[in-house]
Amino acid sequence: MTLVALSLALAGCAHGPRDTAPAREYYGTLEPMASDAVYFVVTDRFVNGDPANDQREQGGPDPRTRSFDRPVPGVPDGQSDNIGYLGGDFKGLLDNAGYIRDMGFGAVWLTPIVDNPDQAFTGGEAVTWGGAFQDRGKTGYHGYWGVDFYRLDEHLPSPGLDFAALTQELKRQGLKTVLDIVANHGSPSYTMPKDQPKYGEIYRDGVLVADHQNLASEQLDPAHNPLHRFFHAQKDLVQLSNLDDTQPEVLDYFVGAYSQWIDQGADAFRIDTIRHMPHAFWKSFAERIRAKRPGFFMFGEAFDYKADHIAPFTWAENGGISVLDFPLKEGLAEVFGHRGGGFERLPPRLYLRDGPYANPYELMTFYDNHDMPRLSATDEGFIDANNWLFTARGIPVIYYGSEIGFQRGLAEHAGNRNYFGQERVDAAKAHPIHAALKRIAKVRQASPALQRGLQLNLLLQGERAVFYRVYEHAGQAQIALVLLNKGDEPTTFWIRNYLQAGRWRAALGGGTVEVGENDVIEATVPGHGVEVYLLDAPVRRADLAAALDEAMEHARRR
């Protein structure tokens, strides 16, 4: 095999020790949530730990309304998709908390837990294999069709295992709970041949407060009908109710509902469809939530690949809510998917200097999720993508099953949300993607620099990437040097740029390297491999300090 030599020599740059000026602090973020990589599950599709809560008779014998196990018609041979409940629950999640933690995750994001309708929806357009924005025949297995946001959906708990007990036990096993929340819509609300129970209705702990009454949005009369006052009289997404963000009682309703789930142990929120409600709503919501829980972390789904469109949610004047990093996701699919683009596609999407985000280091980074096709990549592509996510800036999120390339390349209504199950969990540990993911996730889990450090890029080109992550704050100091190779052959790196003297340890390969003044680290990284060298010391090298001072100055939006 050919060794490709990469020389990173920097000419004419001062590299002596720093003077005796007061020490500077270097960090990308101090957000506590940045310590915890996130594993995302569609709870109903993860593991059925308690068949007793499956509600298999719900919806009655009518094939149009029964709610359990509803295969999508017309599925090609060898494929599958299902729009009914399949039994995943809190017990199945808790039974596998050790599996999730062992991979190196510190948090679990689970889909909404609130009460959803009890029947399959009979309105809208019929779901077809590979279709989109189709809801006829579908159920609320995913949790996003909220009816009573104050009550737990009956498919999830078991005796002695409600949401409070789940979060408590997850925390005992070292996992935080990220709760998915919705405020802009409830359930599908009109086009039903006959009005169905719960659809289009909003309850507060069992008391009806709003009802769409199977009327199109334009037919609602909020000014004169008290049951319509929660809704806009304009359509938004398909047949979903469009909740009125201008009504104070709507804000009160959701602050009350979601405060209750915080009281029961939610550590952070993921906000669904955040861009469908204005900044003023989210600012008020965030202020009231954080008045109760100072610093409470939230991130939103603004499904848009343009950074300028999603960044305003992160600004303090709009509530200071982080977002899922869709612009970077687009680049990750280009670089690690079957298109096989080079690393040079990623720096413009990082926005490390003077970008639009309040803080790019607090963005949630990912390469696929439940609302889009899963990453279409080889095993090696998944391994390379994970090596990037767990070393570069941001808080990594992995969708359930990606640790084995589950349903790769498939969209919703084509298998994206298929049932995972205990057998796959048990077999996953033998999969090469799982093994590589665990290795790099454990490195991040133990490294403050990879979690929260500034990123200083040296090279992102072709199949190779080299960058530093540097963290120095409150008496803790660490410099990480990251080497990534997504090529098929081993590559040798010679690193001189900003390389500080000291004893560096190889986090994956093991052993240490003594680096003197003007020395070079030489390292060969295997194909589709990664190495991280760590130096547990404050920054002393003058040119490194100067580069970090500048990066620190320009990292966050002023």
Residue 19 is predicted with a pLDDT of 46
352 and 551 Cβ atoms separated by less than 8 Å: yes
Between the CA atoms of 135, 137, 141 and 145, what dihedral angle is there, to the nearest 10 degrees?
40
Q: How far apart are CA 61 and CA 54, in angstroms?
A: 15
pLDDT tens, residue by residue, 475-516: 999 999 999 999 999 999 999 999 999 999 999 999 999 999
Q: What does the block give as tokens for 307?
A: 């950074």
For the chain, give the longest Cα–Cα distance. Answer: 79
Nearest to 277 by CA among 256, 294, 301: 301
Q: Is residue 36 part of a domain?
A: no
Backbone conformation region of residue 356, classed left if phi is above 0, alpha if psi is from -120 to 50, else beta: alpha
The parent domain of residue 483 ranges over 452-556
Q: Which residues of the chain have pLDDT under 70?
A: 1-23, 557-558
Q: Is residue 488 part of a domain?
A: yes
Q: Is residue 517 part of a domain?
A: yes
pTM above threshold 0.85: yes
Q: Is residue 507 part of a domain?
A: yes
Q: Is residue 60 part of a domain?
A: no
Residue 152 is predicted with a pLDDT of 98
Helices (H), 132-273: 163-172, 248-263
> At 520, which CATH number?
2.60.40.1180
Distinct helix (H) and strand (E) counts, the chain: 13, 23
Residue 109 is predicted with a pLDDT of 98
Tally the domains of the chain. 1
Q: Is residue 472 part of a domain?
A: yes
pLDDT tens, residue by residue, 81-107: 999 999 999 999 999 999 999 999 999
Q: Is residue 503 part of a domain?
A: yes
Give 82's DSSP letter: B
Q: How far apart are CA 234 and CA 218, in angstroms?
A: 6
Residue 14 is predicted with a pLDDT of 45
493 and 8 Cβ atoms separated by less than 8 Å: yes
CA distances from 170 to 49, 99, 106, 177, 471 (A): 15, 12, 10, 7, 29
**Torsion sign across C-alpha atoms 496, 499, 505, 508:** negative
CB proximity list for 92: less than 8 A, separation 6 or greater:
43, 46, 47, 48, 49, 50, 422
CA distances from 466 to 346, 382, 387, 549 (A): 12, 19, 12, 19
Q: Is residue 361 part of a domain?
A: no
